Amino acid sequence: MELSGHRIIDAPREEVWAALLNPDVLKECVPGCQEMAGNPEDGFDATVVQKVGPVKATFKGKVHLNDMNAPESLTLEGEGKGGAAGFAKGGAKCVLTEEDGKTRLDYDVEAKVGGKLAQLGSRIIDGFAKKMADQFFEDFKAQVEGPGTESEPEMAGGEGGEPAKKKGWFGRGSAE
Amino acid sequence: MPKDGGIGASSKRREDIRFLSGTGQYTDDINLHGQAYAYFLRSDVAHGKINGIDTSAAEGMPGVLRVFTAKDFDGVGGIPCGWQITSIDGQPMQEPKHPILAEGKVRHVGDPIAVVVAESLAQARDAAEAIMPDIEDLPAVMDMKAAVQEGAPKVHDDLTSNLCYDWGFVEDNREAVDQAIKDAAHVTTLELVNNRMVANPMEPRVAVGDYAAHSGESTLYTTSQNPHVIRLLMGAFVLGIPEHKLRVVAPDVGGGFGTKIFHYAEEAFCTFAAKQLRRPVKWTSSRSEAFMSDAHGRDHVTKIELALDADNNFTALRTETYANMGAYLSTFAPSVPTWLHGTLMAGNYKTPLIYVNVKAVFTNTVPVDAYRGAGRPEATFQLERVVDKAARELGVDPIALRRQNFITEFPYATPVAVEYDTGDYHATMDKVLEVSDHAGFEARAAESKKNGKLRGYGIAHYIEACGIAPSNLVGQLGARAGLYESATVRVNATGGIVVMTGSHSHGQGHETTFAQVISEMIGIDADQVEIVHGDTARTPMGMGTYGSRSIAVGGSAMVRAAEKIINKAKKIAAHLMEASEGDIELKDGAFTVAGTDKSVAWGDVTLAAYVPHNYPLEDIEPGLEETAFYDPANFTYPSGGYACEVEVDEETGRVEVMGFTAADDFGNVINPMIVEGQVHGGLAQGIGQALWENCAYDEDGQLISASYMDYAMPRSTDLPMFKVDHSCVTPCTHNPLGVKGCGEAGAIGSPPAVINAVIDALHRGGYDVPHINMPASPDRVWAAMQGAKANMGAAQPAARSTDTAEGRSV
C-alpha cells in the first residue's frame, strides 16, 4: 500500500533534518520501537514490537537512509523480520521545504508485508500502515517541536482524517 | 419397497460410528515410541535467491536433534511428476526439479527452506525461528500471460521459459475449426477465469515416518488417497527404497478432494529423517501451513468461442486456456488442464469440430493440481457459460438451445477422442426441470420482485469422465502409471469375508458400499464382510481413489475377485453335494442344485475349503482367497442436469441461493443415501467456488487469503435444501456393476448453473451483464450492475495490487 501526507513542523529546516538522522528521535517516533542504534551512514539497527491484527511479533531489522540531499530530502527505508510472523518493509520519501519560518515535511510512504502477516492480516494492513505512519510523523513533529507545542494533527491535503478514510474505504484503487 | 441390504439399499455408513464417536484412527492419532517432531521453515517471499542458511543458532537450541537443509539431501531425488504432456511442436513438457527442500531459490510463499527435528513440536518451532536464511528478493512471476512473454523473470532459471507446455488438441482439427468459425452464422465469444481454489479437507495433512533398524524397513503413515502410489513414487524416485522395504499406511483420512492424491515433500522428509535419526518423525500441518503447502486447484484463464449455423446448430468450438501450474509440477498437474479437460469439451453436444489449446505456465505460487472434478469443472464451466451466452445473444431459450444440440445416439465418438457409451440427456433435462419446478419459476420471480429482489434461474448440463482409466490409453496420453484397480477377497474358514481393496476411502463410505456388493453377490449379511484399505502391507497394489473411480474400477476388481471365489466355491459345493458344477446355484448364502432340494450353506463350503477332508483336492487347491486386477475398457460418463435459482439483492449485489436441483445419471447406484451425500458435498463445493471461495495472491506473490477470515468456505446456512435425483439411469455398458461414479458431479455441474442463474437474474432486472467471474461476491455483482467489466485484467484474478478488496471473497 502507498499513502502520502504532510506535517507543518514549527522548527527550522536544518533542525528537522538533523532530527530525521537521529536514532534517539527515531526511536521515540517509531511506534513500538524498543531499540534503535547506529548512524546515518551505516543505517540503524532497530527492534520493534508490534501487533497487527491477530499477529504480534518482535521485528528486528535495519533502517537505512538513502537518497540523502541535505537538508531537503531523503528516503527512510526499513525492513523488519518478525520470525514466524513474517516480515514488514517500507520506505518513506521525505521532502522538507521552508514555509513561513516553519518546515513543511511531505512524505510518501510505501509499506509491504509478507508471510503470516500477509496471510492473516492483509485485510487490515492498509489501515494499520496508515495508523503507523500517522503516529510516526505526529510523534516526530512533537519531538522536534519539543514539549508544550502540541497542536491538532494537520489535515491539509485531504490525507488523514475522515476524507482519507472514506477514500480508503471506497476506492483503494486510487490510493496508488 | 426399498431394500434393507445389498445393492440399492440405503444402508447407514458403518464407518460413521467410529468417526462420530471419536474413535477413528487418523494419522495424527498415530504416535510412536520415541517420536520426534518436524517443523518446516517456509519461505515468506514468493521468489528469492538463497544466499545462505545459517542454522548454527537453531542447532544449539533445547531439544533440537537436527536441522535439515537442501544440502542434506545429496543423492536424494526430487519429487517426481506422474504425467508427461507433449507440446504442439512435439517437445516434451518442461519439467523442473522439485527438491524436498528449496535449493538455490525459493519459488513460492510456503516453499520449505529448512526443517527442524526436535523432541517436541514447540522446541522445533522455536528453533526454526532461530534459523537465519539469507534470501535475496527476486521479482515474483504472478500473471500467467505476462509470465510467458519474452524477457519475463523465470521461476526456474534452467528452463527456457515459464511455459511448461503448449498443448493442442486435436491438432488435426485446428484448421477445420478455424474455417468453421469463419463460416459460422454466429460466433459467441467468452473470456473467463476459473478461480483458484484451496481444497481445505477437514483433516490437514500429516506424515509419520518410522524406520525399523532390525529389518531395514521404513514405514510412512500419511494422509493419502493412494498409499501404493506414494510408495512407488517415494520409494523408487525420491528415496531409493525398494518397495519390499517400504510400507505406506493411509489410515482414516478426513477428506481429500484431490489434494491428498499427490506425493508431498513432507512425506519423503519424515521417511528420510526417521532413518537418519533412528527415531520416528512426525509432521502435522497447521491450517495456515495447509493453505500454502497443499496443492491448490483450478486457476485457468480461458477464451472460448462457439460457432453456430443459421439454425443454431453448434458447428465448432475453439478454446485457448492458460493453466497455472504454480512453482513446481505436482504429481498429476500436467494432466488436469489437458486430458481431463480437453477431452470433455464436447460436453453433451454433437459439436462436430473442436480445438483446445492449453498453455501451462509456471508462476511463483503454490503448485496447482487436481481438485474435486479436476479439469472437468473447468471444461463444464466454460462450455455451459458460452452456451448460455449464445442463447442470450440469439434470443433463444437456453434450455431449447441445449436440447437441440444434445447427443442422442450412443455410443457416441466425440471429436475430442473419447467415446460416450451411454446417456440420456433429454431424460435428465426433463427431470431437472420437473424437480426444480421450472414451470413455476415465473410466479416465484414475480414474488421476489415484490420483495425487491431479482430472481434468476440457471441451468447447466454436464458430462464427465470417471473411472480413470484404461491403462493402455492413459499410457499413450503420457501417464507414467497404470490406472487399474485391485482387490483380494479372502474368505475365512467360518465364512466371513475380508476384502482388501486398492481403493481408498476418505469419506466415500467404501466400507459400507463395498460390503453391500459382496453381500448381494453371496447372499450373506454385510456384517460378515470386512473392507480393508489404505495399507500397502495388507492390500494388493492399487492405484487409489480419485476421479470418481472407486466403485467403477475398484468395485469392479472386487466383483471380479468375488466371481472367482464364487466359481471355486461352486466347485466345492458340487463336490459336497455330488452334483454337477453347472447345476449349482448360489442364493441367499446357500448353494443349491437346480431342480432338487439339495442345499449346502455358504459356511459349510468355506469350512470345507480350509478343512479339506472331503474335498476335490485333485481338481482344486484348498483355501478360498482370490485376487483380481481390473483395467477398465473405457471411462464412464455420468451426466446430469442442474438447476439453480438465486435471488440477487439489487442494492448490495448479494446473491442468495434459493434452490438447487441436481438430476444425475450415475448408472446403477449401490447406496442411494451415500450417493445423495456425495452430491450434497459436491454441490456445496461447487456453489462455494461460484459464490465465495477464492484463493488470492497480491502482485508480490503474497498469499493473502490464507485463513478462514479471508477464504470463505460455504456453510450450511448459506445453502438451500438440495433436491437430488438419480432416477435417470443408463447403466455403464462396460463394467460389471453398470456404475459410473458420483463423487465429483456436484462440483462439476454446479458452478455454471449458479453463474447462469445470477446472469439471468441481472438480465431480468434490466442489467445487460454478459458475464461475472467467480466468486460472484456482492462487490463484483454490484460492480457489474454498475457497468463494470468482468475482471479480466490479470491471470491471477485477485492479484490486483490496487484493489485488495475486489476479488476477495466476503
Residue A136 CA to residue A29 CA, distance in Å, equals 5
pLDDT surpasses 70 at A151: no
The pLDDT tens digits of the residues spanning A93-124 come to: 999 999 998 999 999 998 888 988 888 767 77
Gap from A89 CA to chain B (nearest CA, Å): 12
User: What single string gives the DSSP state of each residue in A20-73?
Assistant: HT-HHHHHHHSTTEEEEEEETTTEEEEEEEEEETTEEEEEEEEEEEEEEETTTE
Average pLDDT (B50-57) is: 97
Share of chain B above pLDDT 90, in %: 95
- Cα–Cα distances in Å, from B546 out to B225, B359, B372, B727, B750? 7, 24, 8, 24, 19
**What are the beta bridge partners of residue B64?**
B118
pLDDT surpasses 60 at B799: no
Superfamily per CATH, domain A2-168: START domain (3.30.530.20)
Strand residues in B76-185 grouped as ranges (E): 105-106, 112-118, 132-137, 163-169
pLDDT surpasses 50 at A173: no
Q: Give the model's pLDDT for residue A111.
A: 86
Block residue for cell numbers 493419502? B224
The answer to whether B333 and B368 are in contact (CB under 8 A) is yes
Residue B458 CA to residue B194 CA, distance in Å, equals 18
Give the side-chain half-sphere CA count within 13 A for B26.
19
Where are the domains positioned within chain A? 2-168
CA-based nearest residue to B166, from B321, B368, B352: B321
Judging contacts by C-beta atoms under 8 Å, the chain A residues touching residue B803 are: 172-173
The pLDDT tens digits of the residues spanning B261-286 come to: 999 999 999 999 999 999 999 999 99
CA B268 to chain centre: 22
Q: Please report which helix (H) or strand (E) contains residue B426, including its range.
A: helix B425-435
Average pLDDT (B514-525) is: 97
Average pLDDT (B145-159) is: 97
Q: Give the model's pLDDT for residue A37.
A: 92
- Cα–Cα distances in Å, from B231 out to B219, B235, B271, B449, B511? 10, 5, 11, 58, 23
SS3 B47: coil
Poorest-pLDDT segment among A112-126, B160-174, B749-763, B795-809: B795-809
Within an 8 Å CB–CB cutoff, is residue B301 touching chain A? no
Residue B547 CA to residue B553 CA, distance in Å, equals 10
Residue B154 CA to residue B80 CA, distance in Å, equals 21
Residue B550 CA to residue B800 CA, distance in Å, equals 41
Average pLDDT (B696-714) is: 92
Return mean pLDDT, chain B: 95
B471 vs A51, higher pLDDT: B471
Residue B796 CA to residue B164 CA, distance in Å, equals 17
Question: Nearest Cβ partner of B44 from A114, A122, A176?
Answer: A114
- How far is the first Cα of chain A from the last one, in angstroms, to the nearest whole number? 7
pLDDT surpasses 90 at B2: no
pLDDT surpasses 50 at A176: no
The pLDDT tens digits of the residues spanning B103-117 come to: 999 999 999 999 999
Q: Residue B788: which pLDDT band, with cuts at 50, 70 and 90?
A: low
Q: Residue B790: which pLDDT band, with cuts at 50, 70 and 90?
A: low
Q: Please report which helix (H) or strand (E) contains residue B772, including its range.
A: none
Domains and CATH numbers, chain B: 35-138+200-293 (3.90.1170.50), 300-468+634-785 (3.30.365.10), 484-630 (3.30.365.10)
Residue B5 CA to residue B3 CA, distance in Å, equals 6
Q: Give the model's pLDDT for residue B794.
A: 35
- Determine which of B40, B44, B132, B703 to mutate to test the interface with A (most A C-beta atoms within 10 Å): B44
pLDDT surpasses 90 at B400: yes
Within an 8 Å CB–CB cutoff, is residue B286 touching chain A? no
Task: Give the Cβ contact number of residue A39 at 10 Å.
Answer: 11
Q: Give the model's pLDDT for residue A137.
A: 92
Rounded to 10°, the helix B672-691/B745-764 angle is 50
Judging contacts by C-beta atoms under 8 Å, the chain B residues touching residue A1 are: 804
Within an 8 Å CB–CB cutoff, is residue B703 touching chain A? yes
ipTM value = 0.77
DSSP category for residue B717: G
3-state helix, strand, coil in chain A (%, to 5): 35, 45, 20
Output phi, psi for B697, to 5 deg.
-115, 155
Q: Residue B386: which pLDDT band, with cuts at 50, 70 and 90?
A: very high
* Residue A119 to residue B703, Cβ atoms within 8 A: yes
Output phi, psi for B240, to 5 deg.
65, 40
Average pLDDT (B214-221) is: 98
* Residue A118 to residue B698, Cβ atoms within 8 A: yes
Block residue for cell numbers 517541536? A145
Question: Nearest Cβ partner of B802 from A113, A120, A176?
Answer: A176
The answer to whether B761 and B454 are in contact (CB under 8 A) is yes
Q: Give the model's pLDDT for residue A126.
A: 78
The size of chain B, in residues, is: 810
Average pLDDT (B87-101) is: 97
Residue B777 CA to residue B788 CA, distance in Å, equals 14
